[in-house]
Amino acid sequence: MSLRYALLAVLEVDAMSGYDLYKHFESSVGHVWYAPDSQIYPELRKMEHEGLLEGEDVPGGRSGTKRRYHITEAGKEAFAAWMNTPIAYQRERDPVRLHATYMETAEPSAARAQLRAHIGHHSEQIRQWEEIVHQIDSGTSAILNRRLEKTAPEDQERTQAFKRYAYEGLIIRSEAEISWAHRGLRLLDRLYGPETGGMTQGGPSAAS
Amino acid sequence: MSLRYALLAVLEVDAMSGYDLYKHFESSVGHVWYAPDSQIYPELRKMEHEGLLEGEDVPGGRSGTKRRYHITEAGKEAFAAWMNTPIAYQRERDPVRLHATYMETAEPSAARAQLRAHIGHHSEQIRQWEEIVHQIDSGTSAILNRRLEKTAPEDQERTQAFKRYAYEGLIIRSEAEISWAHRGLRLLDRLYGPETGGMTQGGPSAAS
DNA sequence: GAAAACATGTAACCGGTTACATGATTCT
DNA sequence: AGAATCATGTAACCGGTTACATGTTTTC
């Protein structure tokens, strides 16, 4: 249900085609709300039908025409209403914790691999997000700059601050995951003994 | 896709009816993987059809008969295979961060309410989970004890340790959310000034 | 006598995933 | 000439949500 608000958020800055939005999602909003093209196109049509957007065929694109959507007053209102409405919390459905709950039934090597993959995944995520935080701080984020151009000067600091704040949240979350996974690796060492039969010596030396 | 593994995990300890499982989900696995009864009943039928479970009508229940499912060898294998397979990470879809990204467009009071609700929600979660951790530690968790009865003595410590570990993960996660939300409240104070027009004085006094 | 718990479902719907389809254009 | 990019979709499927339906039995 959030896809449409992600789309509205982007379209508040600029009118765009479905393809533009799809590309946009790969680099900006997509970091917090992924959507494939096959979901974006029908959703745009639906939103147009509901009066949140207006589309017009412009002859710009490579192949004849493309459909450019711009946000309507109703669309702006819908977005503002969503922003001022508290989020409804979903009930827990956490595959990682479900898996961990029964780890005694897994092979220790598979459990270790799982936790290492968890660390790897979240480390990579943090790396990406920190890059973006850096771009936000240094004013080198093309997408944010585009948005700031359309923002009243007195609101620019806030716009920037909240973008940064959202990415900080992602980073904090992933850091918590990593520290939990390290704890899990130590637990595995305690319960099954330190890993045996490594291929090479000189693995991670004692570093807390 | 994880529902069936949650069901298999429970049925490894004991044969049960759909209703038993539904009740069970409210108190144990449901903490990491919620499922409503309307999803459990058809899934059990499906799993029976696929040979992971076998069901028999037993005349026990209040109203005539009930269908009791027990896990088959194929079911045990499917669960073991799942346990030894790394989890596939889903692409980001994070309503809280999506919301935070555009917080400059919300009314400051709504943004504050949002973050306070976030803190409230996760505080309550932590409270519940810590209670369970305490039950695990003190050996007063009926469900865990039931499982431990069926566990080989040399595996009991591990079983207990991983249950605790999973709940620790939930707690760590929520703690990270709370600290992020506090940071957000401080950010709101900085950007809009401290909250005005409170109804009562003597709100939260300076406590870090 | 009413409410809660036992017991099991169906049906409509929604959001999201994966795969397939098509065709032009621009870059290498 | 072939690959990548532009551009837009459809269709089948899956997992999950919400609401509705039904009837018994136990507890207050």
A1 exposed, middle or buried (CB, 10 Å; 0-12, 13-18, 19+)?
A: exposed
Question: pLDDT tens for residues A4-27?
Answer: 999 999 999 999 999 999 999 988
Alpha carbon distance B31, A186 (integer Å): 24
Q: Given pLDDT bands bounded at 50, 70 and 90, which one contains residue A198?
A: low
Nearest nucleotide, CA B39 to C1': D16
- CB atoms A180 and B163 under 8 Å: no
Residue with tokens 């870090």: B208
Report the pLDDT value the prediction gives residue B208, as an integer from 0 to 100.
Answer: 46
Residue in A34, A97, A159 nearest the CB of B91: A34
Report the pLDDT value the prediction gives residue B199, as an integer from 0 to 100.
Answer: 63
Q: Which residue type does A121 have?
A: H
Residue in B92, B102, B118 nearest the CB of A31: B92
- CB atoms A165 and B157 under 8 Å: no
Q: How many helices (H) and strands (E) does chain B have?
A: 8, 3
Vertex B129 angle, CA B127 and B134, to 5°: 95
B128-132 LR contacts (CB < 8 Å, sep 24+)? B128/B31, B129/B31, B129/B167, B129/B170, B129/B171, B129/B174, B130/B171, B132/B31, B132/B167
- Take residue A159 and report the two structure tokens written for it: 């716009």
Report the pLDDT value the prediction gives residue B59, as an integer from 0 to 100.
Answer: 79
Alpha carbon distance B6, B89 (integer Å): 18
Footprint of strand D on the protein (CB under 7 A): A 17-20, 22-23, 37-38, 41-42, 44-45, 60-63, 66-67, 90-91, 93; B 1-3, 34-36, 38-39, 62-64
Question: pLDDT tens for residues A87-100?
Answer: 999 999 999 999 99
- CB atoms A157 and B191 under 8 Å: yes
CA atoms within 13 A on the CB side of A69: 28
B109-115 LR contacts (CB < 8 Å, sep 24+)? B109/B195, B110/A83, B110/A84, B110/A85, B110/A86, B111/B184, B111/B188, B112/B185, B112/B188, B112/B195, B113/A86, B114/A86, B114/A87, B115/B181, B115/B184, B115/B185, B115/B188
Residue with tokens 């027009």: B197
**Is the pLDDT assigned to residue A199 strictly greater than 90?**
no
Alpha carbon distance B19, B44 (integer Å): 11
B69 CA → D27 C1’, Å: 28
SS3 A13: coil
Stretch A111-122: mean pLDDT: 97
**Is the pLDDT assigned to residue A156 strictly greater than 50?**
yes
* A106 touches B at CB < 8 Å: yes
Report the pLDDT value the prediction gives residue B63, as an integer from 0 to 100.
Answer: 64
Q: Are A87 and B27 in contact (CB under 8 A)?
A: no
Q: Are A11 and A3 in contact (CB under 8 A)?
A: no
SS3 A71: strand
Report the pLDDT value the prediction gives residue A59, as an integer from 0 to 100.
Answer: 80
**Is the pLDDT assigned to residue A205 strictly greater than 80?**
no
DSSP string computed for B23-90:
HHHHHSGGGTB---HHHHHHHHHHHHHTTSEEEEEETTSSSS-EEEEEE-HHHHHHHHHHHTSPPPPP
Q: What is the pLDDT along chain B (208 residues), one digit of tens a residue?
A: 799 999 999 999 999 999 999 999 988 999 999 999 999 999 999 999 999 999 999 876 666 789 999 999 999 999 999 999 999 999 999 999 999 999 999 999 999 999 999 999 999 999 999 999 999 999 999 999 999 999 999 999 999 999 999 999 999 999 999 999 999 999 999 999 998 766 665 545 554 4
Stretch A185-199: mean pLDDT: 88
pTM reported for the whole predicted model: 0.92
A52 CA → D9 C1’, Å: 21
Residue in B84, B94, B187 nearest the CB of A161: B187
Report the pLDDT value the prediction gives residue A62, as an integer from 0 to 100.
Answer: 60
How many Å separate Cα A200 from the centre of its chain?
37
* B62 touches A at CB < 8 Å: no
- In this structure, chain B runs to a length of 208
Comparing A165 with B60, the larger pLDDT belongs to A165
* B80 touches A at CB < 8 Å: yes
User: Minimal Cα–Cα distance from A92 to chain B, Å?
Assistant: 5
Report the pLDDT value the prediction gives residue B27, as an integer from 0 to 100.
Answer: 86
- Take residue B121 and report the two structure tokens written for it: 């929600």
* B81 touches A at CB < 8 Å: no
**Is the pLDDT assigned to residue A204 strictly greater than 60?**
no
User: Minimal Cα–Cα distance from B196 to chain A, Å?
Assistant: 18
Alpha carbon distance B93, A33 (integer Å): 4
- Take residue B28 and report the two structure tokens written for it: 């144990």
Chain B residues with CB under 8 Å of A161 CB are 104, 187, 191
Alpha carbon distance A100, A165 (integer Å): 30
